[in-house]
Amino acid sequence: MIRISFVLISAIWISSAQAACKAEKPAAELTIEDLQGLYECLRPDMVKGYQKKDHEIAAAYTDWKAASIAPQAPGMHSGQYLMTYINPTGYDQYIQFNTDSTAMPAGTVIAKEAFSISSRGKVKIGPLLFMEKVGMDAAPETGGWQYSGIKKNGKNLKVDAKGFCHACHQAWPGQDSLGYPVPAVRATSG
């Protein structure tokens, strides 16, 4: 009986591994390499969805450099796995991951992809969220940042920039309201 259940469980994992873009193990056991492989499989679909409605940033961000070497779940953003891209205006400053005196230049634009992994290894694409450094005059209540986002089908997402996005992001004043990827995956250069 125990042997049969073992075979059954293995069969479930093997079959899900063969299907497109599924995690081969429970999320908690995934290594950086596993996540890189999963992301590589998933990315064309993510980009295709995000770019469906010709959003300006969604069209541009695929030319930018990433802030990390693999998607990771920071335990915020609903436990989603995140990949952050920064435009050339802000990239070099961002990847210093300075914690006490970050001042991102005006014109910095950041796009953050997201996906989640269920306990069965099923992957779901999340929204593409943006932060644009527009300056204190344009966005005095949100630290000079404009927060926005689109859904996985490219449609605009309604966001509560002040009460939700910035309410959390303002926890990092020395980081110019940036959360940064977890240290284990941070990019050291583009």
* CB-nearest residue to ligand HEC: 179
The residue (of 15 and 153) whose beta carbon lies closer to ligand HEC is 153
Is position 130 an interface residue for ligand HEC (rule: CB under 6 A)? yes
**Shortest Cβ 100–ligand HEC spacing (Å):** 16
Q: Scanning residues 70 to 129, which ones bind ligand HEC (CB under 6 A)?
A: 72, 74, 76-77, 82, 84, 110, 112, 129
Lookup: tokens for 93: 């400053």
**Binding segment toward ligand HEC, per CB under 6 A, in 6-14, 16-24, 48-56, 157-165:** 157-165
- Which two structure tokens, joined as six digits, stand for 168? 């959390």
Binding-residue pattern over the window 166 to 185 for ligand HEC, x denoting contact by CB under 6 A: --xx--------xxxxx---
Q: What residue type is assigned to position 42 of the chain?
A: L
Quote the least distance from Cβ 177 to ligand HEC, whole Å.
Answer: 7
Query: Which residues on adjacent β-strands are paired with residue 109?
Result: 132
Two tokens, residue 6: 């073992």
| Binding of ligand HEC by 57 (CB under 6 A) | no
Query: How far is 113 from 111, CA to CA, in rounded Å?
Result: 7
Q: Are 110 and 134 in contact (CB under 8 A)?
A: no
Contact flag: residue 165 with ligand HEC (CB under 6 A): yes
Q: Cβ–Cβ contacts within 10 Å for residue 70, how many?
A: 22
Whether the CB-CB separation of 152 and 50 falls below 8 Å is answered with yes
Instruction: Establish if 159 lies at the interface with ligand HEC (CB under 6 A).
Output: yes
Q: Would you say 102 and 176 are in contact if contact means Cβ atoms under 8 Å apart? A: yes
> Are 62 and 44 a contacting pair, CB within 8 Å?
no
Binding region for ligand HEC (CB under 6 A)? 72, 74, 76-77, 82, 84, 110, 112, 129-131, 147, 149, 159, 164-165, 168-169, 178-182
